[in-house]
Amino acid sequence: MITEITFPGKLPGNNGPGGLLRMHWRKRNKIRDTWVWFIKSKTKNRHLGPVKFELIRYHCRQELDFDNLVSTGKIPTDCLVLAGVIIDDKPAIIQEREYRQVKVKRLEDQKTVILIEDIL
């Protein structure tokens, strides 16, 4: 089974004025709670075993360095667990991870796509 969830806009990375390192915990928790409901509204799929996690960030400005790109997956993976899509975000469950960036021309085309695929 493959689950695809598309978040409008970009998810925050670690750095920058809207980044996770400078974000107040209440704001981060509010984002998390909003995304949990967003995920629940987009899918009823449940992955009960090992999965492959793929995050694709569509952006129109500067690319993130790799460690900052990987950090954009922190809140969404927590939300996937809270929404019940995956059972945990530990390495025994998310056995494969892939992070990519794709340059787009317009701000309106910015989005973040998350793919979760069962590993058999």
Tell me the pTM.
0.81
Residue 97: pLDDT above 80?
yes
| Alpha carbon distance 61, 47 (integer Å) | 34
| Alpha carbon distance 94, 88 (integer Å) | 8
Residue 84's DSSP bridge partners are none
* pLDDT tens-digit map of 68-78: 888 888 888 88
Domains of the chain: 2-118 (3.30.1330.70)
